Protein backbone atom coordinates (compact mmCIF):
# COMPACT_ATOMS: atom_id res chain seq x y z
CA UNK A 1 0.00 0.00 0.00
CA UNK A 2 1.38 3.38 -1.05
CA UNK A 3 0.73 6.53 0.88
CA UNK A 4 0.87 10.27 0.17
CA UNK A 5 0.16 13.08 2.61
CA UNK A 6 -0.63 16.54 1.23
CA UNK A 7 -2.00 19.80 2.67
CA UNK A 8 -5.79 19.94 2.20
CA UNK A 9 -5.57 22.42 -0.66
CA UNK A 10 -6.91 22.09 -4.18
CA UNK A 11 -3.58 23.33 -5.59
CA UNK A 12 -2.17 19.95 -4.56
CA UNK A 13 -4.40 18.16 -7.05
CA UNK A 14 -1.63 17.49 -9.58
CA UNK A 15 0.55 15.98 -6.89
CA UNK A 16 -2.29 13.66 -5.91
CA UNK A 17 -2.97 12.62 -9.51
CA UNK A 18 0.72 11.98 -10.12
CA UNK A 19 0.87 9.79 -7.05
CA UNK A 20 -2.12 7.73 -8.20
CA UNK A 21 -0.83 7.44 -11.77
CA UNK A 22 2.79 6.65 -10.90
CA UNK A 23 1.88 3.70 -8.81
CA UNK A 24 -0.10 2.20 -11.65
CA UNK A 25 2.42 2.77 -14.41
CA UNK A 26 3.69 -0.79 -14.36
CA UNK A 27 0.22 -2.22 -14.98
CA UNK A 28 -0.51 -0.55 -18.30
CA UNK A 29 -4.14 0.41 -17.76
CA UNK A 30 -6.22 1.75 -20.63
CA UNK A 31 -6.54 5.49 -21.17
CA UNK A 32 -10.23 5.16 -20.36
CA UNK A 33 -9.52 3.52 -17.00
CA UNK A 34 -6.93 6.18 -16.24
CA UNK A 35 -9.32 9.03 -17.06
CA UNK A 36 -12.11 7.55 -14.95
CA UNK A 37 -9.68 7.08 -12.08
CA UNK A 38 -8.41 10.64 -12.36
CA UNK A 39 -11.97 11.96 -12.42
CA UNK A 40 -13.00 10.10 -9.27
CA UNK A 41 -9.78 11.09 -7.51
CA UNK A 42 -10.04 14.76 -8.46
CA UNK A 43 -13.68 15.15 -7.49
CA UNK A 44 -13.25 13.48 -4.12
CA UNK A 45 -9.99 15.20 -3.21
CA UNK A 46 -11.34 18.64 -4.15
CA UNK A 47 -14.58 18.05 -2.25
CA UNK A 48 -12.75 17.08 0.92
CA UNK A 49 -10.30 19.98 0.61
CA UNK A 50 -13.12 22.48 0.07
CA UNK A 51 -15.71 21.27 2.55
CA UNK A 52 -13.99 19.42 5.38
CA UNK A 53 -11.26 22.01 5.86
CA UNK A 54 -11.11 25.71 6.61
CA UNK A 55 -9.46 27.76 3.90
CA UNK A 56 -5.83 28.58 4.71
CA UNK A 57 -5.83 26.32 7.73
CA UNK A 58 -2.20 25.45 8.44
CA UNK A 59 -2.34 21.94 9.79
CA UNK A 60 -5.07 20.29 7.78
CA UNK A 61 -3.86 17.41 5.70
CA UNK A 62 -5.30 14.66 3.58
CA UNK A 63 -3.65 11.24 3.44
CA UNK A 64 -4.22 9.18 0.32
CA UNK A 65 -3.63 5.44 0.24
CA UNK A 66 -3.63 3.38 -2.88
CA UNK A 67 -3.47 -0.36 -3.30
CA UNK A 68 -3.87 -2.60 -6.34
CA UNK A 69 -4.85 -6.18 -5.71
CA UNK A 70 -3.44 -8.10 -8.65
CA UNK A 71 -5.27 -11.34 -7.88
CA UNK A 72 -8.68 -9.69 -8.15
CA UNK A 73 -7.69 -6.74 -10.36
CA UNK A 74 -9.19 -4.30 -7.87
CA UNK A 75 -7.75 -0.89 -7.16
CA UNK A 76 -8.57 0.59 -3.76
CA UNK A 77 -8.04 4.29 -3.05
CA UNK A 78 -8.65 5.73 0.41
CA UNK A 79 -8.74 9.35 1.60
CA UNK A 80 -8.22 9.97 5.32
CA UNK A 81 -8.36 13.45 6.84
CA UNK A 82 -8.69 15.20 10.16
CA UNK A 83 -11.17 17.88 9.04
CA UNK A 84 -14.69 18.46 10.30
CA UNK A 85 -17.01 15.46 9.85
CA UNK A 86 -18.06 15.61 6.22
CA UNK A 87 -19.70 12.92 4.16
CA UNK A 88 -19.55 13.90 0.46
CA UNK A 89 -21.81 10.96 -0.40
CA UNK A 90 -24.78 12.64 1.27
CA UNK A 91 -24.98 15.07 -1.61
CA UNK A 92 -28.09 14.53 -3.70
CA UNK A 93 -27.61 13.51 -7.33
CA UNK A 94 -28.40 16.27 -9.80
CA UNK A 95 -31.36 15.88 -12.17
CA UNK A 96 -29.54 15.26 -15.42
CA UNK A 97 -32.72 15.27 -17.53
CA UNK A 98 -33.48 18.99 -17.17
CA UNK A 99 -32.95 21.53 -19.95
CA UNK A 100 -29.88 23.74 -19.86
CA UNK A 101 -32.03 26.62 -18.63
CA UNK A 102 -33.37 24.63 -15.68
CA UNK A 103 -30.16 22.89 -14.75
CA UNK A 104 -28.26 24.20 -11.79
CA UNK A 105 -24.63 25.07 -12.24
CA UNK A 106 -22.49 22.76 -10.15
CA UNK A 107 -23.25 19.70 -8.06
CA UNK A 108 -21.78 17.27 -10.57
CA UNK A 109 -18.52 16.41 -8.81
CA UNK A 110 -19.54 13.62 -6.49
CA UNK A 111 -22.05 12.38 -9.05
CA UNK A 112 -19.17 11.95 -11.52
CA UNK A 113 -17.01 10.28 -8.88
CA UNK A 114 -19.75 7.74 -8.15
CA UNK A 115 -20.30 6.99 -11.82
CA UNK A 116 -16.64 6.23 -12.38
CA UNK A 117 -15.99 3.76 -9.57
CA UNK A 118 -17.43 0.37 -8.67
CA UNK A 119 -17.83 0.89 -4.96
CA UNK A 120 -17.61 3.92 -2.68
CA UNK A 121 -18.19 4.39 1.03
CA UNK A 122 -17.67 6.85 3.85
CA UNK A 123 -16.94 6.38 7.56
CA UNK A 124 -16.18 8.75 10.41
CA UNK A 125 -13.87 7.05 12.86
CA UNK A 126 -11.71 8.33 15.71
CA UNK A 127 -12.01 11.93 14.55
CA UNK A 128 -11.21 11.13 10.96
CA UNK A 129 -13.12 11.21 7.71
CA UNK A 130 -12.42 8.04 5.76
CA UNK A 131 -13.60 7.80 2.19
CA UNK A 132 -12.77 4.69 0.20
CA UNK A 133 -13.47 3.75 -3.39
CA UNK A 134 -12.78 0.59 -5.31
CA UNK A 135 -12.37 0.27 -9.01
CA UNK A 136 -12.37 -2.97 -10.90
CA UNK A 137 -10.03 -3.35 -13.84
CA UNK A 138 -12.35 -4.54 -16.59
Partner 1 sequence: MNIEKKIEGNKLLVKINGRLDTNTSPEFEKELKNDLPGIKELIFDFNDLMYISSSGLRVILSTEKIMNKQGNMIIKNVNDLVMEVFEVTGFIDILTIE
Q: Rule CB under 8 A: which residues touch partner 1?
A: 10-11, 13-14, 31-32, 35, 38-39, 42-43, 46, 94, 96-97, 99-101, 103, 105-106, 108-109, 111-112, 115-116
Least separation in angstroms between residue 34's CB and partner 1 is 9
Phi, psi of 8, rounded to the nearest 5 degrees: -75, 65
Output 75 or 110, the one with its CB closest to partner 1: 110
Output 35 or 73, the one with its CB closest to partner 1: 35
Output 111 or 122, the one with its CB closest to partner 1: 111
Side-chain-side CA neighbours of 116 within 13 Å: the count stands at 20
Spatial distance between the Cα atoms of 134 and 112, rounded to a whole number of angstroms:
14
Least separation in angstroms between residue 41's CB and partner 1 is 10
Instruction: Give counts: helices (H), strands (E), the chain.
Output: 3, 5
Residue 17 contacts residue 66 (beta carbons within 8 Å): no
Amino acid sequence: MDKLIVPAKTEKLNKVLNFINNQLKTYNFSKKFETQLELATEEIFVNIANYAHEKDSENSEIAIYSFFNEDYSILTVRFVDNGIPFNPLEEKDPDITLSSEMREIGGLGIFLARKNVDEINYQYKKGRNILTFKKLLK
